[in-house]
Amino acid sequence: MNIYKALNEMLEYIEENLENKIEYNELAQFLGTNEVMLQRLFSMLCNISLSEYIRKRRLTKAGIDLINGQGKIIDIAVKYQYDNATSFSRAFEKFYGVKPSQIKKEPIGLKVFSKIHFDEKEEDNENIEYSIIEREKMTLYGKKVETTIGDIRTDAPAFCKFMRTEYGGDFQYGMTEYIERFEETKCYFWVLYENHQKGLETYEIPKSKWISIRINSQEAIDIQKQIRKFYAKFIPSCEYKIKELPELEYYHDDITDFLVPIEL
């Protein structure tokens, strides 16, 4: 499967259905995966959550409709899948910085959130080597920072540096935990230790089998690059069912093992 071609087909489907209810299970079929992995893949490759992308495209279209006098505010709200004018107005003002009523009275220049398009010729012929491992239940100790899909690339390294300074020594794990299953804009990044220290929270990870991908670095930029490659190349053709557990980054011996929970 050409993942970028499949994503473009999915994005075109979204564009054609901005005025309709969009079911994530139907979008997942474009990539041959499930809803959870669709959202993680989309967030990783696009640096924005799927729900936020759809919301911003709808608000972009709604702004254009308002400027062109294409209907009352309530009509446009319903057109773009908002339950009422109040929720639409709140989202519109947050996105544009002005109320929709102001646009109708005095049209101004509006920002546009453009449709995403991938270069379908982008290829990477490097194979991804992995192994299947099994781990018993783990009890880890750490702290988390709230971040977003867009900010985690800078927030995670900064938080790691803070934790090294605050608690000394090296932690063994990093973990991204999404706050809500189908709203992946906000998330937590955890730094976790195998040994307890005062002030750390306890986090238990159940016994599971994992796909393990070896990354010969502990630098954030290298880890993020390999994880992005994993989502783009491996997930669409993955024969395993991915569990709804957070993935782990396991740091040891100057390398990182990226662990994805699966069911066999």
Element (H, E) at 190: strand 183-193
Note whether 113 and 56 are within 8 A (CB). yes
Is the confidence at residue 42, as pLDDT, over 80? yes
Of 202, 215, 205, 221, which Cα lies nearest the Cα of 253?
A: 215
Q: Which amino acid is at 248?
A: L
Note whether 256 and 217 are within 8 A (CB). yes
For residue range 44-54, list pLDDT tens digits in order: 888 888 999 99
Percent of the chain with pLDDT over 70: 92
Percent of the chain with pLDDT over 90: 56
* Domain 130-263 class in CATH: alpha beta
Note whether 19 and 70 are within 8 A (CB). no
pLDDT at residue 119, rounded to an integer: 84
pLDDT at residue 125, rounded to an integer: 53
Cα separation, 62 vs 175, whole angstroms: 37
pLDDT at residue 143, rounded to an integer: 97
Q: Which ranges constitute the DSSP H helices of the chain? A: 3-16, 24-31, 35-46, 50-67, 73-79, 85-96, 100-105, 152-167, 220-229
For residue range 86-133, list pLDDT tens digits in order: 999 999 999 998 899 888 777 666 778 999 998 877 655 556 788 999
For residue range 53-78, list pLDDT tens digits in order: 999 999 999 999 998 888 899 999 99
pLDDT at residue 21, rounded to an integer: 95
Of 115, 88, 114, which Cα lies nearest the Cα of 103?
A: 88
Note whether 173 and 250 are within 8 A (CB). yes
Note whether 80 and 62 are within 8 A (CB). yes
The pTM for the full model equals: 0.77
pLDDT at residue 166, rounded to an integer: 92
Is the confidence at residue 82, as pLDDT, over 60? yes
- What mean pLDDT comes out for the span 155-174? 91
- 183 falls in which pLDDT band (50, 70, 90)? low
CATH superfamily of 3-105: Homeodomain-like (1.10.10.60)
- What mean pLDDT comes out for the span 194-207? 94
Q: Domain locations in the chain?
A: 3-105, 130-263
Other C-beta atoms closer than 10 Å to the C-beta of 69 total: 9
- What mean pLDDT comes out for the span 160-183? 84
Three-state secondary-structure class, residue 231: helix
Separation in Å, CA 1 to CA 4, 33, 54, 95, 192: 9, 12, 24, 35, 36
pLDDT at residue 233, rounded to an integer: 76
- For the chain, give the mean pLDDT: 88
Separation in Å, CA 159 to CA 38, 156, 171, 197, 220: 27, 5, 12, 17, 12
